[in-house]
Structure 1
Amino acid sequence: MSKTTSRVVDERAATLKRLQERLDIRTVLGNGAHPSALLNAGAEDADMLIAVTDSDEINMLACSVAFTLYRTPTKISRVRSADYLAKHQALFESGSIPVDVIIGPEQLVTKNIEQLIANPGSLQVLDLPRAAFGWLP
């Protein structure tokens, strides 16, 4: 069984110190979109990059740098701006911005609320893959 090693890149030294005290992770002080910070975090051997800063642009650039310089196979980015998600989705579909999975917190909440409204009396609505249940059509 392989051991997963997590690394966190952040510009706030105090945040990194607290993480190191609580979790078994390696931390790198720096900007997550800078090639040197990604290299110090081990991007050349990484299977995945998850960029979840407060800045959509830093997240997307981190994914782009990781893919272009280090060929990181899986890139996940938090993108909050509806301008990117609704109006300019082609940026991601064309591969211009190499992001494999987009996390859109507001969109996830909106989808959940829509599902609850569509199913009155529900406490929670979950999307389950049909393959998980052989008896579902």
Structure 2
Amino acid sequence: MSSLFCCSFVRPFRPVHLNHEDKFRAFMAWAEFPKESSPATGQDVDTVRADLGSSKPPFAVQLVRQVNYGPLESKRYFVPVKDEDNEFVEIGENDLIQANFQKLNSYKNFGCQGHNRFFEVSVYQRDPVKHRWRVNIARPGSSIDL
């Protein structure tokens, strides 16, 4: 288990109201410090994968944590839990790819001056077109992120 944010003093960096504001608010309310999360393991992985296939969550969130102007510390993905308000579960990048999610051009930046940390929260949605024959380069991929 690791904490999502470094402290409770994480503030928006150049805040802007976006079309997907409700998704950001729901995630940020759930992720408030000292929220901890870890990816599903063991039997939980199969449950989460089945859930992604059957419940078809409406969106996913990517949380990137890094030292301000420095190295990337983590890149994590979360989907809302069906039938529960403001509850999310952490998933792996491959689960996101298999569930056919694509990154939208909708993100918010947050920072913590005290710990010199920068956070980017991005929204993903399910691609309406099923790509069975190849992995789409627009999907998340740690090997293609620049």
Per the TM superposition, whether the score is higher than 0.5 is: no
Greater share of helix: 1
Q: Which has the larger radius of gyration?
A: 1
Greater share of strand: 2
Scaled by the length of structure 2, what TM-score is found? 0.24
Scaled by the length of structure 1, what TM-score is found? 0.25
